[in-house]
Amino acid sequence: MTQRLGNDDKKEGRRRIGWTGRTTSFLTILILVVLIRLKGEHITLETLFHDDFMLYHNPPLIPAPMDQPIPPAFIYAMELYTAKEKMRRKITNSTIIMDPEVYEHLTDRIRRIKQTRKPLLIMINSHPCAGKSFFIENNTGYFMGYKLVDFDKLGHGVMRDSSYLKLDTVTNNTVLFGDQHVSALNKQENYDDVIYIYVIPPMTRVMQNMELRQKDPKSKTRFSEYGPVTNRRRISLSYAIKNEVLVEPLFASFQEGLEFCINTYNAATEWHQS
């Protein structure tokens, strides 16, 4: 049975409709006034909600697992000290732990460079008799599409450090083979958009390189002798390892170090979009 509305109910319904209509009209007018004032002051919605727009167009880089494996430990604590230091203190012959955080930080820096759409510029810090010349020549000056540059072959007047990678002539993915000890002597600071890694081969490999250099009269220099080579190798290790703790990304070969960096860079776009 249908219930009829009384006069009082009808009046109450009309009052509610009237109140809703007036409220809607008031809000519409208020919004129009705000938009007109914003337009007059040249304020756009993007300006008004700047943080939200920036978050949408530039989403934060979310940490993700590393694409490349961490290299195995290969440096012994004994290799970090001179003969006199070994005599003065008790040193265990344990291996230096390859701290995952060091390689996670390296991965994050490479991904951020890829996110800004910049080329990957790599500075490899090594030492004499590590095999850089052989690696460059054996790969005919390019590795995985990256140009390989020996800092010993740079032209006159060019600093033998990572400042080379910031020259206007370097526009594509490039790798500079150098020495942190030389960069330190030049008082060269690191650049945010350059990746720095250390490649210090095991002593067995360095000894093989020294033997090959000694057999070649053209390559025979003071850095084909055991003393100078091992001393410079120890100095290079001192930049990558502090108090027997790894502080810089370290690799046992040039191929291993470059594959880690380049593969991380190449995978960065796919990882960011997923």
150 and 261 in one domain?
A: yes
Domain with 25, as residue range(s), is 7-57
Q: What is the pLDDT of residue 179?
A: 87
Is 70 inside a domain boundary?
no
Q: What is the pLDDT of residue 59?
A: 43
> What is the number of structural domains in the chain?
2
Is 62 inside a domain boundary?
no
184 and 142 in one domain?
A: yes
150 and 253 in one domain?
A: yes
For the ranges 60-69, 105-114, 142-151, the lowest mean pLDDT is seen at 60-69
pLDDT digits (tens, 9 = 90+) for 137-183: 999 999 999 999 998 888 777 788 899 999 988 999 999 999 877 77
54 Cα distance to chain centroid: 23
227 or 177: which leads in pLDDT: 177
257 and 126 in one domain?
A: yes
236 and 205 in one domain?
A: yes
pTM here is: 0.72
Is 240 inside a domain boundary?
yes
Is 69 inside a domain boundary?
no
pLDDT exceeds cutoff 60 at 274: no
166 and 87 in one domain?
A: yes
Q: What is the pLDDT of residue 32?
A: 59
- Mean pLDDT in residue range 196-220: 87
82 and 211 in one domain?
A: yes
Is 71 inside a domain boundary?
no
Is 155 inside a domain boundary?
yes
pLDDT digits (tens, 9 = 90+) for 239-257: 999 999 999 999 999 999 9
Q: Which of left, alpha, beta for 220 (phi over 0: left; psi -120 to 50: alpha)? A: beta
124 and 27 in one domain?
A: no
Structure tokens at 110: 């490479």
Q: How far is CA 230 from CA 88, 206, 221, 239, 258, in A?
A: 20, 9, 14, 15, 24
